[in-house]
Structures are given as structure tokens and as C-alpha cells.
Structure 1
């Protein structure tokens, strides 16, 4: 093999990792050393509670909002940075809000969601049990961004989560993986790139369209009975592509395209989960449909 072809294998894997970036690394709260992928790290979440109002384990859900909200970050995100916009938005509207870290790799701080997704779903299961025990609620609502909007479906389908979750709201979820604008189709041309992706970052490999993980997840239908599903997507998503692959089919599913609500909304993959208040308004509607109000361009100031 020519030397340039040997070099392109690792380069392709690194390119995939960069493209799958779900959240920017901004002002990360100091965290404890990352735990093994099978345990739940709560140090960053607890650090956030003193200043932000979320991850307050003394919070008791109100009659208006009887279910705590669990926020699930995206690939390369963490429990704080992904939610600096949405978590306070929901807290200010009276919700008990919690967020977790998951999918940690040894020696990789701050950037999580890289471990095997089935193991990450087990971490979510443990965390939901903790939130339910602390709040006394019977069920939670789950809101996730990117991988965080898809991974909970594994929890619902295979780990008993359907009995503990009322609603799942996905912001740009990777429900059928991604072609990364066709980039993944190049993998067969660079021997070793796919193996490198699987070995070093299984959380990314699991999200490549057609992966064994996604085949198992989507076999037999997208949904499970008893859970309401909302998918909020943007046509300008450059990571989970094509964007319509994010949508689900089945009972109790609502698929929303932001540009149908506000044609001038230009949010892409990162912005829809981190700063877009139009998307946040639609999340609030999904969590509290009985009090939902129309989402429009004016929702940015709501």
C-alpha cells in the first residue's frame, strides 16, 4: 500500500470524530477524573447545581410539572456544556432538571459519549433510577441532543426504560445514524479506518448508518408503547445527515422541522441543542402539551 493511503486511514477516523462533534467545549466545569464507562459520573452535574439551579436533588416536582426532566448530552459533550442554554430555560419554567455524563473513555476528560452506546444506555438507566428515588416521581421525561436523543431509545426498548419514561424529546437525534454528508462511504477505501473507529471510539462507530447497533435498535419498529416521542430537526444539520433520517415512525410520534415553525431559523446541529430558543420553546411544548403555545420566530424572545 502506498504510504499516503496508510496515513489516510487514521485521518479518516479523526475526521469522523471531528464531524460528529455535538457540543463546543466552552467553559467546562472542572470535573473529577472520568469513571469507567459502566458507571455514572455525577461530579460535573453536582458542580452545576449551586449556580444554575439544575441537578438539585432536593427539587420536588410540582403539580404543574410532575415529572423531572433528564437531559442527555451528545457525542463529545458533557452534562454541563451541552445544557448551559436549555437547562436554565426549563428551570425558570418550573421543572426539576437533571443531567448526566455518560460514555466516558479512560483518560479522556470533558468529552464524553464515546463509549459503546449500549453501555451508555445502562448508565442512563442507573441515573434515571437515582433521579426517581431523589424526587419521588413515578416517571421522568428525557430530552437528548444528537446521540443523546437516540441512545435513550435503547434504554426504552431493551433495558426496561419504558416503564419509567413518559416522553422522549430528541434534538437532532441520530436515530438512523449518519452518512456524514457521504463521508462514511469512503471508509471501505481506507483499510483500517473502520477498525480504528470501532476500537478507539465505539460511540462514533455505533452511529455510522447501517451499524450493527443501529440495525438492532431499529429492528421491529422505532417506538415502544406508553412513551410519547418528539423529534425536533433542522434542515441545516450538517452532522446527522440526511436530516430526515432523524424522524421516527409509529404511535405517539411527532416529528418537527424547525424551519416549518420559523423559516428564517438557521440553526445547525450544534445550535439546535445549545442556543436555539425556538427549539427550546418546542421542547417545552413537548414536555407540557396541555399548555403548549404556538412556536414561531417570536419564540426566540419568549
Structure 2
């Protein structure tokens, strides 16, 4: 799989119909679906790359909440390296916040609750964090806790920011630099940028990365944490990453986003979708990612299986 996109293969070489791919793209045009970029990879072979003007597969894109997937992956690497555990209390990593006036339940928030967006907050904390004048961790911990942590899903980009700051504190590196060493370099991803709040990458948003490079992350998870023979994540982490924590629902998800396990960061503004019954397919779109899945399955699932 070295240099994944150096060579493209004929779809039929890996059991996929070129006609079906062409028909799928035609149907997208017929319904005026705003396709930007599509990659199809099967058996570690790139077979299709489509970009609609003015977009190019090599250009970096702002991928909105797909950023969360990379942030949670960074936590997985830190767990593998023994730097933290998902059952650790978040407050233990922010000792300057211990004496703040906060709900008792806030002191019981664990890293796993940040990953699953089950911190107990009734609303996303990111608005107060971005609009406040106090340090963001202080604002996060002092927002009202409505549920027992770990029991309710509420979309919370503020919690994902906290994961980014956790990485900075346990590694001495910002999130992007940590990932450059432990993820981007092994995946041969060379051109990324990420917004910062002070010295900390925003974590929940702000990543700019090329669609081709999103595909590589999809392949990493498809191969249970291994890329080009290099073990980047533990298989246990990948399995847990794909295990739904809460019932899939559109409630509490911005803009009516499709259902997701938030640990994998699939949201309305961008997605990495591992379609393991078909191929590894990664793409970036603005909305309604479920429609693309439905159309692709309709045209292909009768033709082949892994």
C-alpha cells in the first residue's frame, strides 16, 4: 500500500463495475447532488478519484467536525503509548481548576466521556468557551451539569477541545505536532494545518487536509490500526472506536446531522465512512452523507462483497 495514489487500477481488477461507478456519478448529477470529491479504494488499490470543479483531490479542505476523528485518534495513540487512560478523570490533568466552583458531577468527568460526548452537560459548552474571557478549561468545568456523566449523549465540541488540550499537556506538543509524528508521517500525509486557540489546536474543528489523506485514515481503521505494516493504534482501540455507545439518533446533533458514534467523528459537515461491506471509501461533503451511502449501496452491493 506504499504511496497509495501513485497508481490507479481498473475497477474490474478488484471486482467493481466501472459501469456502476459511472452510473452512480450520473445519478448524483441528475439529482443535483453537490459532489465535491470521491475516492474509492478496494483491497488497498485506488480505483477511482473524482473531483468536481473547482475542487481538486490534492487541495486541502476545511473538514469541520471531521477534525474530531483525528483528535480522538490522537487520544488512541496516547493510550497506546501509556500516557493516559480513558478512565482517567479529566480534572486530574487540569489541577489549576480543582478549586473552582463547579458541580460535583463535573469532577467525575472522565476522558471516555469526552470521547463519547457524554460529559453530562445539557448543551454544547463551546459557545460559552469561545465567547468567554476566562481560560477555556475553566469555562468547561463550570458549566451546569444536567446528567450523570456517561449516561446521556449531547453534542459537545467544547469537550473535544478539552481532548486537544489533554494531548498538549501529556505530550508537551500541540495536537497537530503530536499527530505529525505519530500519524501523519506514517500515513505519508505531508500538508495539513489546524486552527489554534492560543497554543492549543481547536481539536473539534479547524483542520485543513486533502481528501486523499482522509482516505488514508479510513484505511488505517479498516485495517484495525495498521498502515503499511506499521501498528499505529491497537486493535482494541479500533474495535471500541466503532462500538456505538448510545442509541443512534438525530437529537442533540447540529443541523439534523446523520446518526453516528461520535468517537469516529462522523457529522453533517464532513465524514470518513468505512463501508466495510463494499470497499474503503472516504470523501468530504457539506451535508446529507447518508444519501451518498444509500446511492452507492444501491448501485454496488449486488455486484461484489469483501
Higher relative contact order (CA 8 A, sep 6+): 2
Q: TM-score range by the shorter chain?
A: under 0.3
TM-score normalized by the length of structure 2:
0.25
